[in-house]
Amino acid sequence: MKFSNRVLSSLLVISFIFLAATTEMGLADKICKTRSDRFTGLCLSDNSCAIICRQFEKFESGHCGGAFLRCLCTKAC
């Protein structure tokens, strides 16, 4: 079965576009986490942690995590 040059080049272009789109989507999914400097005590509420991270530390969000229940501020890398 022979493919014409036109079909092969179309498939190549579509493959390249698909590869570029999936690579860019993968970069957006990376999230950096940093322990909050302002949150004190055990982190028992994701909402409280997120408020501290957004208002005082200029991060996008935050959540409780880790073995010691610390507030972790998050942002896209």
- Shortest CA distance to 37 belongs to which of 6, 16, 2, 62? 62
From first to last of its 77 residues, the chain has per-residue pLDDT tens of 465 767 656 655 555 555 444 545 555 579 999 999 999 999 999 999 999 999 999 999 999 998 899 999 999 99
Inter-residue contact 62 to 36 (CB < 8 Å): yes
pLDDT for 45:
96
pLDDT for 29:
75
pLDDT for 19:
47
CB atoms within 10 A of CB 8: 11
d(C-alpha 15, C-alpha 18), whole Å? 5
pTM of the model: 0.62
- Our measurement of the distance from residue 14's CA atom to the centroid of its chain's CA atoms, rounded to an integer in Å, reads 26
Q: What is the CATH number of domain 5-76?
A: 3.30.30.10
